[in-house]
Amino acid sequence: MKTVFITGTSTGLGRAAALHFANRGWQVAATMRSPEKETELQQNPNIRVIPLDVTDPVQAQRAAAAAIEAFGKIDVVVNNAGHGIYGALELVSEESIDHQYAVNVRGVINVIRAFLPHFRANSGGMFINISSYMGFLSAVPLGSLYNMSKFALEGLTEGLYYELKPYNIHLRLVQPGGFASDFTNKINLPTSGTIRDYDVVNARLNKVFDAVKNKSYSLTQPQEIVEQIYAVATGTNQEFRTPVGQDTAAMIAMRNSLPLAEYLEKIDAMYA
């Protein structure tokens, strides 16, 4: 029986992935910051819920040890936990900047470092890092911090390919576009009572978020992404990068067909 360790399983994509793997016979270490609030996953006999705040390297070590103790061997680690900060860089708080990096980049590093001794001892394993089309396409105005974090994740994953390949440790990226979740409901673009120059671009992006909330903008369903994660984990899909969603495909096609300057102008016009 195979075992997967998944971060960020309290809601959304992570929860759906945990259930998908468990219902197909995998043992699942489902991690989250507040496991005491979890009820559904606890009822599945194939799932063990483990506390983990990925920004804490000590907790990452403890969570890895707990999963290994519970299941004996971990075959795949899915770095799903993520956080999105949107807003003009000049207006975003210092705390928000640090938290964006801490979750999306350092959090992945913490988990990878926690499992490397286990994977090396077993002469193999796989890290599946959940990125975004914003990890290789500059796609959304006021998304510079989120872009930064996902670009960093892409570079980290590609760089690790070379150093971990001799030990049969595989690296994979899954790159969803927008998908149905409550993510946009939690976004509040920062404003300033003294700096009004960003009000126009804030209004432009809020129109996009409103369209998503009102379901007038088509989003990928989480299950479609989960199925691709599962295909990568099982080896059915052996691609290093797996883009998911029609919006991702459209963005890639546009980026590949246009000079960068023209592409950036076209994106800007899309959010006008």
User: What does each of the 272 residues of the chain score in pLDDT, given as a tens digit?
Assistant: 999 999 999 988 999 999 999 999 999 999 999 998 888 899 999 999 999 999 999 999 999 999 999 999 999 999 999 988 899 999 999 999 999 999 999 999 999 999 999 999 999 999 999 999 888 887 678 889 999 999 999 999 999 999 999 999 999 999 998 776 656 556 778 888 889 999 988 888 888 777 666 655 567 788 999 999 999 999 999 999 999 988 888 888 888 899 989 988 888 887 77
* Residue 134 near residue 85, CB atoms below 8 Å: no
> What residues have CB less than 8 Å from 42, skipping those under 6 apart?
49
Q: Which two tokens stand for residue 7?
A: 């971060």
**Which residues make Cβ contacts (< 8 Å) with residue 20, sequence separation at least 6?**
223, 226, 227, 229, 230
Catalytic residue among 133, 150, 198, 230: 150
Q: Cα separations (Å) of 252 from 44, 109, 176, 190, 270?
A: 38, 27, 12, 29, 15
> What kind and span of H or E run contains 3?
strand 3-6
Of the candidates 131, 132, 144, 149, the residue annotated as catalytic is: 131
Instruction: Supply φ then ψ for residue 182, to 5 degrees.
Output: -95, 15
| Catalytic one of 146, 198, 230, 263 | 146
For residue range 28-38, what is the model confidence (pLDDT) as tens digits? 999 999 998 88
Q: Is 207 a catalytic residue?
A: no
Helix (H, G, I), strand (E, B) or coil at 187: coil
DSSP-assigned letters across all residues of 42-103: GGSTTEEEEE--TT-HHHHHHHHHHHHHHHS---EEEE-------S-TTTS-HHHHHHHHII
Beta-bridge partners for 246: none
Q: Which is it for the CA torsion 219, 223, 225, 228, positive or negative?
A: negative
Helix (H, G, I), strand (E, B) or coil at 2: coil
